[in-house]
Amino acid sequence: CGEQPLQGRKIIVTAGGTIEPLDPVRYLGNHSTGKMGYAIAAEAAKLGAEVLLVSGPSNLADPAGVKTVRIQTALEMQAAVQAAYAKADAVIMSAAVADYRPKTVAKDKIKKSDDELVLHLERNPDILYGLGQQKDKQILVGFAAETCNVEEYAKKKLSKKNLDFIVANDVSAKDAGFAVDNNRVQIYFRNGECEKYPLMSKQELAGIILNKIVEMM
């Protein structure tokens, strides 16, 4: 029970990292566990939203009351998000999407030799940038995972991707960001405002992000 301010609203949340195969046994990936995105999806469902969670590989269980679609690659994540975008009221992209994928995926396991191995990578689409280009009524929320110049890079992403706000985290921190239960963020809004938050649980942060969306609706 409790207040359900997102009743009747459709929200897409992405979580986890995409993995990009190299051969049948290896892939390129990152440290995202899905904890941030799963907390947002669970909280949005509690607030009454119809939630689609598009998740990269994660050990976490599907959140209650959430439609969870599991994908592996950035291209698969893009297809799943795009299919639901037209009817969505908001999209929150907390996934760590791989910017590059191997140009070719070997059919069989790559054998080692004494030589160097050179990998050729090609760009993945920027899913959020594409959503920003097609933005209609949707509220678009991005994350910025940075290790330096957090404010500068986050603001660039906010404007380039046509977002309503961006949640920036310093992923070089040990106690926040990837793979832990807490996060410490700054939120940058399109009107130039900024809010800085202390370390808090990802669940609590999910509530703050969703309250911003409720206010904007």
Known binding positions for CTP? 99, 109, 125-128, 143, 157, 161
Q: Which of 143, 165, 206, 209 binds ligand PMT (CB under 6 A)?
A: 143
Find out whether 142 and 159 touch, Cβ atoms under 8 Å: no
The answer to whether residue 30 is catalytic is yes
Name the residue among 165, 17, 163, 213 with its Cα closest to residue 101: 17
191 contacts: CB under 8 Å, gap ≥ 6: none
Find out whether 107 and 51 touch, Cβ atoms under 8 Å: no
Q: What are phi and psi of 151, to 5 degrees?
A: -65, -50
CA dist 99 and 123 (Å) reads 6
Cβ-based nearer residue to ligand PMT, 66 or 144 = 144
Place of tokens 């698969």: 76
Binding window for ligand PMT (CB under 6 A); candidates: 40-48, 62-70, 113-121, 176-184 = 176-184
138 contacts ligand PMT (rule: CB under 6 A): no
52 contacts ligand PMT (rule: CB under 6 A): no
74 contacts ligand PMT (rule: CB under 6 A): yes
Q: Which of 20, 27, 34, 139 binds ligand PMT (CB under 6 A)?
A: 34
140 contacts ligand PMT (rule: CB under 6 A): no
Binding residues: 99, 109, 125-128, 143, 157, 161
Longest dimension (CA), the chain: 63
Sequence-ordered alpha helix ranges (H) in 47-118: 74-85
Q: Which of 22, 53, 69, 142 binds ligand PMT (CB under 6 A)?
A: 142
CA dist 135 and 189 (Å) reads 16
Cβ-based nearer residue to ligand PMT, 3 or 148 = 148
Place of tokens 């509690």: 46
Strands 90-93 and 139-146, bridge-based pairing: parallel
Q: Please report how close the Cβ of residue 189 comes to ligand PMT at its closest, in angstroms.
A: 15
169 contacts ligand PMT (rule: CB under 6 A): yes
Q: Where does this chain bind ligand PMT (CB under 6 A)?
A: 16, 32-36, 74, 93-97, 99, 124, 126-128, 142-145, 157, 169, 171, 177-179
Catalytic residues: 30
